[in-house]
Amino acid sequence: MKTAQTAQKAPTSIDTEAIRRANPLADLVERELGKPQRRSGGGRVLQWCCPFHPGDNTPSFTVYTDDQHFYCFGCPADGDKRGKDVIAFVMRRRNLSFMEACQELSPGQAVRSGAKGKNAGRPSISSRTPYAQPAASRVLSEPDAPSEAWQEQACTVMVECSLALWDGNSARAGAARRYLAGRGLQEDILKEYWIGYNPRDREIAGLWVPRGIVIPNFCGSRNIMFGLNVRRPKEDVLASKSKYVFVAGGKRAPFGIDDILDKRAVFVLEGEFDTMLVQQALWSMGTRAAGVGAFTMGSAGDRDIYPWIVSHLAYRERFLLSFDIDAPGQDAASFWQGQTKKARLYKPPESYCKREACKLGHKDISDYWQHAGGGALWEWLEQGLKQHP
């Protein structure tokens, strides 16, 4: 039986562009924080003391009125990865979900029931015009994105599968959440990256999506949808010999690369789950991990990733490579070391298993976390930054 909350969310279509037009970010922030404490650029750049980190005595929270996005130079309060806009501000300020923030900001027509026919009852994002960062921050050379039509379809898949993952009445969704928890991933990081769950092979919004855990990939300085990768359940892997299925129509690109735009040191990892686990640890470390980010080539091959990384090489002080110990992992390490002298191998250490009374080697970060725990992961991250200055 669906809860009232689930029933209310299910038929929702979101016109995010209408929400942004009706709620200028600068106006909303001024209502929340008072008059700007600093103005520059002819009034196009407004600054306040940041509401998201304590002890901010100088204006560091910045709103760019040209494209209506925000950024804080003193903390990671750079908005939601999907836009850094008024919706992201309200989500963080009020501790709301994406849906709840849209409903609070809706002028009456932005959140509505829009699906018809076989798509009736399915959530979708009806408009998505990503906001660019200021020109000074555009350091990526982006490959061509998938078509706008595909992106809209993929956003519909993302929302539906995200809601499905948190369905408390679904045993399969519960099993998917336990699997993710077993890999160390907490609710906050899963919602931040819009991780979802598809309970069966099916068509959603015109895209064929296999059952499994759905991993959306938003990347690039315009925060656009590039791909949907699906981690299949064990029984399907045994049948197909493939752990992951990439949804047709998307384009392969690095996962989490937006998180390194302003970072001096970067952990380069094997897969999406490892990247989220390390990113989660870095966030929890606070100022100790300031200036450090993580991303993965993921399902992207050398040719896919090269246009993305070439412009990053000059801006980062070092890349710490932690790939699986298998042949593909070693190939990836060789690729990186061939691109820059700043790349250093940094694999997870051995840990001691009391149950088996022996030392264990670890094939990847998730395996290390499972045996050694979160505290050991923190120490490993900090040690890597000290060993490879």
Is residue 262 located within the same domain as residue 239?
A: no
Residue 374 belongs to domain spanning:
257-387
**Cβ neighbours, 10 Å, residue 227:** 23
Q: Determine the pLDDT at residue 314.
A: 62
> What is the number of structural domains in the chain?
3
- Whether residue 298 is contained in a domain is answered as yes
- Whether residue 126 is contained in a domain is answered as no
Is residue 278 located within the same domain as residue 382?
A: yes
Mean pLDDT by 10-residue block, N- to C-terminus, for the chain (389 residues)? 34 65 90 87 83 76 84 58 70 77 67 36 31 32 73 86 89 94 91 91 94 88 79 82 89 82 83 91 82 80 61 72 76 79 79 46 72 77 76
Q: Are strands 38-40 and 45-48 parallel, antiparallel or unpaired?
A: antiparallel
Q: Are strands 111-112 and 13-15 parallel, antiparallel or unpaired?
A: antiparallel
Alpha-carbon torsion 131, 133, 134, 138, what sign? negative
Is residue 240 located within the same domain as residue 278?
A: no
Is residue 322 located within the same domain as residue 347?
A: yes
CATH number for 305: 3.40.1360.10
CA distance 292 to 277: 14
- Whether residue 168 is contained in a domain is answered as yes
Is residue 362 located within the same domain as residue 301?
A: yes
CATH number for 38: 3.90.580.10
CA distance 220 to 131: 11
Q: Determine the pLDDT at residue 14.
A: 62
How buried is residue 188: exposed, middle or buried, by Cβ count under 10 Å (0-12/13-18/19+)? exposed
Is residue 113 located within the same domain as residue 150?
A: no
> Is the pTM higher than 0.75?
no
- Whether residue 148 is contained in a domain is answered as yes
